[in-house]
Chain A
């Protein structure tokens, strides 16, 4: 087999060819030859019709099971779905175990469920830099709804909020103090809060608690933001999707969707700027003395490095 050209990959996206979709994502993720051509050739208009749904939450809350349930519901409605399952890379080896597939295998032979597991690869911009392009490739491959699933620990959930049109936070009873700790950060930015495993003890308390946290948000749109599911039994998922659909309508009408999209594109652009500048600064850094305070040194390096190479471009 010869290596497909960017044109072949782009036309493969349009014809839903799984190999072409997989290859195109890799080329872009690895910043390989042809990455720029693929990115430039992607259909931008189609992106307007796509809904990007972020799903995050602590490990064990049932994100993968919920995602699988969402996919099942969307498939029975005839929608083509993309899933990006993100797991962290090991900071030591750079490797990763991407295990979200296990709960997605029901859909393995469905050509209209496009799944891609991604590792964060220790990038400065975390998720955004690689997953943003994958979203656009899946959109070009005519996925109507794209799920991004990530573990809600550390920075990754903030990235997902930036990247997704609508973010769902999944919690389950029994996490106790972890949830208290999260309140301040992520709960404020999530659009929906799903209490999964709602048939288990402690669920009603958690729901009440969350409804209180979310009541201010609900007033803006008139859409209730706290839901209960039992994902393993497919309970509550259809209602969640109806609510997401209504909320998407609200975002569109209010102009918020456009705002969110532009903010995401700006964030991704900034991530790429930093990513592309990094090797040059790492190189320049070696030649300067460590005597100065890091902040002063950084300022000096920016001044000298950017001036010297101001006409350089790097892919």
Chain B
């Protein structure tokens, strides 16, 4: 193995129809500044497109952003599309305008973490780092 830690790879995707990607881009830049390699898909993607891209790019973690209110459908859809493509091990985090009462539902439906407009950036970043590291550990657990 190399001595230096190899960068985590993350995919930031915006499923659904809303075109507001300021939050997604903010997180993308913040993650880059923490040493992540960030693959950004752009706006208005289907869950299948995001999952297929995550598999091709072999990312450690997927981050989704939705401001349209469709998160209850779109976020779990990405999780199941990933499962269908052999990527059940890839953690999915989500953020956006998400009412508190939806958070538990999303976590029950396969999301690893949910962030709302009030979540401090540091908390979001450390969740991405933790999720990526767990994914790496999981990968190397049977060495």
Contact = CB atoms under 8 A, between A and B. Distances in A.
Interface of A: 1-3, 17-19, 21-23, 25-26, 29-33, 89-90, 92-99, 101-102, 105, 108-109, 114-117, 119, 121, 279
A23 B40 contact: no
Given A93-B32, A116-B57, A101 B42 contact: yes
Contact of A109 (B52, B87, B89): B52
Nearest to B44: A105
B56 interface: yes
A94 B35 contact: yes
Nearest to B86: A19
Contacts of A98: 37-40
A26 B55 CA distance: 11
Contacts of A21: 56
Given A31-B1, A119-B37, A95 B32 contact: yes
B33 interface: yes
A166 B73 CA distance: 46
Interface stretch (B62-70, B112-120, B135-143): B135-143
B7 A97 contact: no
B88 interface: yes
Contacts of B9: 26
Given A33-B143, A89-B7, 17 more contacts: A18-B55, A19-B58, A22-B55, A31-B1, A31-B2, A33-B140, A96-B32, A101-B40, A101-B41, A101-B42, A108-B45, A108-B48, A108-B49, A115-B53, A117-B37, A119-B7, A279-B3
A48 to B, nearest CB: 25
B123 interface: no
A30 B2 contact: yes
A3 B40 contact: no
A92 B1 CA distance: 23
B6 to A, nearest CB: 4
Interface residues of B, number: 39
Given A22-B57, A31-B2, A93-B32, A1 B86 contact: yes
B37 A96 contact: yes
Nearest to A119: B37
Contacts of B2: 30-31
Contacts of A2: 142
Interface in B18-45: 28-29, 31-42, 45
5 contacts: A3-B142, A19-B86, A95-B7, A95-B35, A116-B56
A90 B35 CA distance: 8
Contact of B33 (A30, A95, A115): A95
In this complex, which of A18, A23, A29 has the most chain B Cβ atoms within 10 angstroms of its Cβ? A18
In this complex, which of B49, B57, B58 has the most chain A Cβ atoms within 10 angstroms of its Cβ? B58
A35 to B, nearest CB: 9
Contacts of B37: 89, 95-96, 98, 117, 119
B85 A95 contact: no
A108 B7 contact: no
A101 B53 contact: yes
Contacts of B85: 18-19
A55 B87 CA distance: 31
A168 to B, nearest CB: 23
Nearest to A1: B89
Contact of B36 (A31, A33, A95): A95
A102 B49 CA distance: 11
A102 B7 contact: no
A90 B36 CA distance: 10
B1 A22 contact: no
Contacts of B89: 1
B35 A18 contact: no
